[in-house]
Every structure is written in structure tokens, then in C-alpha cells.
Amino acid sequence: MSLPFWCVFISALLIYLAKAPVAKAMQAENGHYDNHHPRAQQARLTGFGARALAAHLNSFEAFPLFAAGVLMAHVTQTQGYLVDGLAVTFVIARVLYLLCYWADLHWQRSLVWIIGLLCCLLLMLTPALR
């Protein structure tokens, strides 16, 4: 499996790893995780819990664009250091994004979000750059 495909796999895992702090915040809120009405409980989260939920949901939003970029490069047989580097940079940006969101580092979070977005867009353009 190619490095960009591994990055897609890791990015998919990050979506679900980002749920762990949300579940922890939900548990801390009332002393229990409400599995009957988890979305209602999530809607009441504040502070760290609300930020963790937003980071988790943003992971769902970022994933399709990245996967599309990797697939566009793959189906056009565009490969090499640029594609690999963009894929790895996206994964690093997403990890940093989660950490910044959880730590309430707002401008740093926005910066790494932009880096991740640019990686996706450039992946989509790599077939035109060959």
C-alpha cells in the first residue's frame, strides 16, 4: 500500500480517536456517558468538551477532501515526493489541529487547518503539475 493510502487510513482513524476526549468529557459532565441520548448530552458540553466535540466533527469534514485528493493523484498515476509529502503533511496538520483545538490555541488551530486544506487542494492539482 502506498504512503498516501496509509495516510488516508491514519486520517480515518484520527476521526475516531478524536472521539475519545468527547466521551471523557461527557462522562465527567454528569458522572456517566448517556448512551441513550449521546447527542443531547454532547450539545450541553462546554469548555474542553465542546472544543473536543468540534474537533471530532471537523475531522469528519476534512476527511473527504483529503481522500479525494489522494484518489485524484492515484487514478492519474501521479506519485512521488510531492504527493507523499502533501499526504504526510496533511496527517501531521490534522494531529496538530486536534491538539490545538483541545488546548484552546485558536490562531494556531486556524493556521494548521489552512495547511491541511492547502495539502488537500494541492493533492487535487498534482495531476496538472506533472
- Reported as a single tens digit per residue, the pLDDT across 80-129 is 999 999 999 999 999 999 999 999 999 999 999 999 999 999 999 999 98
CATH of the domain at 120: 1.20.120.550
% the chain with pLDDT above 90 = 88
On the question of pLDDT at 44 being above 80, the answer is: yes
pTM: 0.94
Rounded to an integer, the average pLDDT of 3-22 is 97
- Domains held by the chain: number: 1
Please give the single-letter amino acid code of residue 16: Y
Residue 109, domain extent: 3-129
Buried/exposed 33-70: b ≥16 CB within 10 Å, e otherwise: beeeeeeebbeebeebbebbbebbebbeebbebbbebb
